[in-house]
Structures are given as structure tokens and as C-alpha cells.
Structure 1
Amino acid sequence: MDSGLLFSFLAVDLLLVCVPGADWAYVIATALRRGPVPRAVAGLVCGYALHTALAAAGLAVLVAGSPKLLTALTAAGAGYLLWLGWGVLRRPAVPSAAEDTADVRGCFLRGATISGLNPKGLLLYLSVLPQFLTLRGAHLPVPVQTAALGLLHMGCCAVVYVAVGAVSRALLSARPAAARAVARTSGAAMVGIGAVLLVERLTTV
């Protein structure tokens, strides 16, 4: 693949990953409860691995070409985002003094579900990523290019989300009021994004 395309995709991808959303809210909540942040991040990355596999198999193109299927997936993701955001607003994460080591498997599965249904992930794989593929005269087949870009996205997510977890635990653990404010802001952002996506998608049917 062309190195210029790779760096361009990396810049766009980092910008998207660094925008707070459902993934950030989950990592911050896990960090404040002193849960296993690496396991939560691994779950999030695993969800994007599924996106990558489906995109490399050509299903992303199929979904993008089927308005009804795209609407259903986006609506499901937006609805899940609304549900998560409302839950965060009702019960914002607060710093915990004791380490939460319970339900480690559940922590991983929740992470995979959140990223798997994240509308931002659908946007990336269905709208952004295809723009960086070389369709003609490429040395690598399109599925291989798709897998490479997907792996690059997964690597960005891993690095950024581990850093978010570490910074959240370090800066917010001793500041309950700030932790609640950050959690509520994340919840409000998820509700807002989910509502906009849902209304936008349903009104374009």
C-alpha cells in the first residue's frame, strides 16, 4: 500500500478515536471502578476485529449498498448508544477505593459488544476506510488492504484507550466530583450522538 495513504488514514483514524464516545465512557468507568482496564480495552479491540473481518470479507460493501440493512444496523447501534448513555447519566461512575476484579469475562464481553455496535465504528468501516483503498493497479488485493487498515485502527484504539484509562485513574480517582462530571458529560454525549444518528437515519429511509 502507498505510505501516503497509510499516514493519511492514520491521521483521520486517530482523530476519530480521540473523539470521546461510548468506548471512552466504558474505559473511564472501568478505570474509576478500578476494574481491569486492559481486559476492557481488549474487548473493545476484539469488537473492531470483528468489524475488520467482516469488511475484509466484503460484507461492508454489501451493507453499504443495502440502505435497509445499513439503516437497521445504524438504528441498532444508535439505540444501544442511547441505552448506554442513559445508564451513565443515571449512575455515573465514581472512584472506588478497592480494586474490582469480579466479572472479568463480563468486562471483556461488554467491551466487545460496545465497540461491535458502536455507530462510530460502522461509520469508519463503511464510509471512511473504503476511501483509502487502492482499487486499481494495487500490489495488494482489496481484502488485504482492508485488513491492514483495520489492524491499524485496532492498534490506535489499544494505545489511546489504555492511555485514557491510565490518565482517568490517575487524575480522577481522588476527585469524585470531577469524575461524576466527566461521566455525565460522556453519557450526555452518547445520548446526543445516538439521538442524532437515529433521527438522521430514520428520516432518510
Structure 2
Amino acid sequence: MIGIDAGLGIAAVALAMVLTPGPNMIYLVSRSITQGRAAGLISLLGVAVGFFAYLLAAVTGVSAVFALVPTMYTAIKIAGACYLLWLAWNAIKPGGQSAFSPKDLPIDRPRKLFTMGLMTNLLNPKIAVLYVSLLPQFVDPAKGDIAAQSLSLGLIQITVALTVNCLIVLTAGSVSSFLARKPTWLRAQRYAMGTVLIGLAVSMAFDRTEAAAPRQ
């Protein structure tokens, strides 16, 4: 059973990361603007399958990490904090490009849309690090079954990510047009996300919680 703090923590991380421009957001926005909302939603379905593939791997992998090498907790925590700081820098650095400046994409059939959404997510380093470095930090071996906790936390992350991405697909055209006319809002969005990521990174780095020995 996960605690409320862990659930809210992974939800906050998931929200900050899904709102930070990356391969998934760029592809979904570009696809939605180029080919319409239906194409964006089909692509999002592929992204969803990619999330569940990562979660399946994490449920097994996280259990193995805590069971075999509990001391990796600190290393994973530091790696996760560093990655959040890197994302924050990319959000606020001068010349950063918005995901709502879409790329031109060819018109594709539904099967290819699904496959491209799936592959974009599976090859997204941000998602890989989320499951490898960040998810384990919200698992508390003292609370019982590690795999069950990982599954619950992963489902929270997927729910947040898919909800936000669905809203992005449905509003991509309108948001892109608005931000093109309001560069100040675009900068504000980047700095807000950068600030949230920095706060999460600092909190994570200075959290003195230690990983307890896993139950047998």
C-alpha cells in the first residue's frame, strides 16, 4: 500500500515532466496540428502502450533492485535529482524552443500513427529515466510488496501523463496559435516548469529517507 505522500509526489513529478517539452509532446502536437485531433489521439494510444511497457519492466526491475542491491537507493536518488535539474535547465535556457512550434509531418495511416506514438515513447530518454531513476524513490520497502507499490505509482504516473497529453492533443492548434501571438506567455510557461523541476530536484537530493531492507 502506497502512502499519500508517495502518491502525491509521483503525481507532481509526472505533471512536471509531462508539461516539460520532450519527444512525446513535440510529436503529439505536430501530429495533431498537421493531421487533426483524431490522428493525435491514435498516436497517443501508441504512447499509452509504451507507458505500460515501461511500467511492466519497472514492476519487475524495481523489485530486483531493492531486493539485491538496497544501497543503490542513494545513487538512484542523486541521478534522478540531476536529471530533473537538466530538464529544468533545458526549460529555462536562452533560445529554448517550444513544443508548440510544430514540425511538418506527412499524412500517415492509423497503423503508422500508432506505431510512431509507441516508438516515440519507448525511445524517449525522459520516460526511461522516469521509470529507472525516479519511480523507485517513491517505493518504501517497509510498506510491503514492492511490485504492488511500483504498479500503483506507475498507474498514477500514466493517468497524469495521458490526461495531460490528451488535453494537449485536443487543444494543440488553439494553444499553438495563442503562444505564437503571445511570446511572453511562452517564456512564462518555460520558467514556471523550470522552477517546479528545480524544486523537485532539490527536495529529492536533500531527502534523508533511507531505503529499508526489503521483506522476504
2:131 matched residue in structure 1? 125
Question: Among 55, 59, 62, which residue is 1:56 paired with?
Answer: 59
Question: Partners in 1 of 2:156 and 2:33 — Cα distance?
Answer: 28
Query: Match of 2:103?
Result: 92
Q: Is the 8 A contact 1:133 1:145 kept in 2?
A: yes
The answer to whether the 8 A contact 1:60-1:125 is kept is no
Match of 2:160 among 156, 162, 166: 156
Alignment-mate amino acid for residue 35 of structure 2: R
For 2:114, the equivalent position in structure 1 comes to 108
Equivalents in 2 of 1:149, 1:93: separation in Å? 36
Contact 1:9/1:132, CA 8 A, preserved across alignment: yes
Which structure 2 residues correspond to residues 1-205 of structure 1 after superposition, within 5 A? 1-35=2-36, 36-58=39-61, 92-93=103-104, 102-136=108-142, 138-139=143-144, 141-172=145-176, 178=180
Amino acid paired to 1:128: L
Deviation string for 1:26-85 (max 9, x for gaps)? 1111111124111111111111110000111227856x97xxxxxxxxxxxxxxxxxxxx
Q: Which residue of 2 aligns with 1:70?
A: none
Which stretches in structure 1 are left out of the alignment for 5+ residues? 66-87, 183-205
Percent of paired sites with the same residue: 22
Per the normalisation by structure 1, the TM-score is 0.63
Asked if structure 1 preserves the Cα contact closer than 8 Å seen for 2:139 and 2:149, the reply is yes
Tell me which amino acid in the other structure corresponds to 1:20.
P
User: Per-residue deviation at 1:161?
Assistant: 0.9
> Following TM superposition, where does structure 1 have runs of at least 4 consecutive aligned residues deviating by more than 6 angstroms?
none
Letter aligned with residue 58 of structure 2? A
TM-score, normalization by structure 2: 0.60
Distance 1:114 1:105, change over 3 A: same
Equivalent position SS for 1:58: helix
Q: CA deviation at 1:170?
A: 2.5
Structure 2 runs not aligned, ≥5 long = 73-98, 187-216
CA RMSD of the aligned region, Å? 3.1
For 1:92 and 1:134, the matched residues in 2 are separated by 42
Contact 1:61-1:126 within 8 A present in 2 as well: no
CA distance 1:15–1:34, change in 2 (3 Å): same
- What does residue 205 of structure 2 align with? none
